Amino acid sequence: MNVTPTAIPDVLLLEPKVFGDSRGFFFESFNQRVFDAAAGAPVRFVQDNHSRSGRGVLRGLHFQTRHPQGKLVRVVAGGVFDVAADIRPDSPTFGRWVGVELTADNRRQLWIPPGLAHGFLVLTESAEFLYKTTDYYAPEHERCIVWNDPGLGIEWPLAAAPVLSAKDAAGLSLADATRTGSSESRTPSRVADPSPAVRFLGDS
């Protein structure tokens, strides 16, 4: 397993060693000892998730105010542009983001430690996305930073308007999400006009 730190040093890009021949291929997608060594400390995963999304779907940027989840993410069909954003106010990389293309062909994985926000944009006709989490999903503590927040300035590789859920379209600004005492609020302030125009799930 080749492990590369990103511009946010504790966000790690993992690339497995693939063994292939005329029969097909084999690779070790997860090894606890190897992963713990890469992360620099023992990491316990408690939940595995699997989602499927169509082209142009943008999910995120999600985080939990309590029971924050570390995520080890990969794609097993299609491809996505995967983003981790550092929203930890005491972090030296606060406000920075990293974006990596994860595909079924490149077999890359991204480790996003607890406390960061995460999202992805589907680049292919569809994509199947797998991720392991270090804590359980807690919907009462789930929050979202809006995809086009100017405080983050994420450069999404958009070919058309993104397809969003209503919840994600109404996400918080980075400033509101990290303001002391406001992280439990679901009322977003106004953010920059979403350009290109947003399509909502269910729109024709």
CATH architecture type of domain 45-200: Sandwich (2.60)
Question: Catalytic residue numbers?
Answer: 62, 131
pLDDT for residue 94 is more than 70: yes
Is residue 64 within 8 Å of 135, Cβ to Cβ?
Answer: yes
Residue 56 scores a pLDDT above 70: yes
Burial of residue 203 (CB within 10 Å: 0-12, 13-18, 19+) is exposed
Taking the alpha carbons at both ends of the chain, their separation in whole angstroms is 43
Where exactly are the structural domains of the chain?
Answer: 45-200
Reference 120, options 166, 175, 168; nearest CA is 168
Position 159 scores a pLDDT of: 87
pLDDT of residue 194: 41
pLDDT bin (cut points 50, 70, 90) of residue 179 is confident
pTM of the model: 0.86
Sequence-ordered list of residues with C-beta below 8 angstroms from that of 200, at least 6 positions apart, any chain: 163, 164, 165, 166, 169
On the 0-12 / 13-18 / 19+ scale of CB atoms within 10 A, 180 is exposed
- The pLDDT score that the predictor gives to residue 175 is 93
pLDDT tens for 1-15 read 889 999 999 999 999
How confident is the model over 14-37, as a mean pLDDT?
A: 91
Contact 135, 115 (CB under 8 A): no
Least confident of 8-17, 21-30, 103-112: 21-30
Residue-level length of the chain: 204
**According to the 3-state scheme, what is the secondary structure of the chain?**
CEEEECCCCCCEEEECCEEEECCEEEECCCCHHHHHHHHCCCCCCCEEEEEEEECCEEEEEEEECCCCCCEEEEEEECEEEEEEEECCCCCCCCCCEEEEEEECCCCCEEEECCCEEEEEEECCCEEEEEEEECCCCCHHHEEEECCCCCCCCCCCCCCCCCEECHHHHCCECHHHHHCCCCCCCCCCCCCCCCCCCCEECCCC
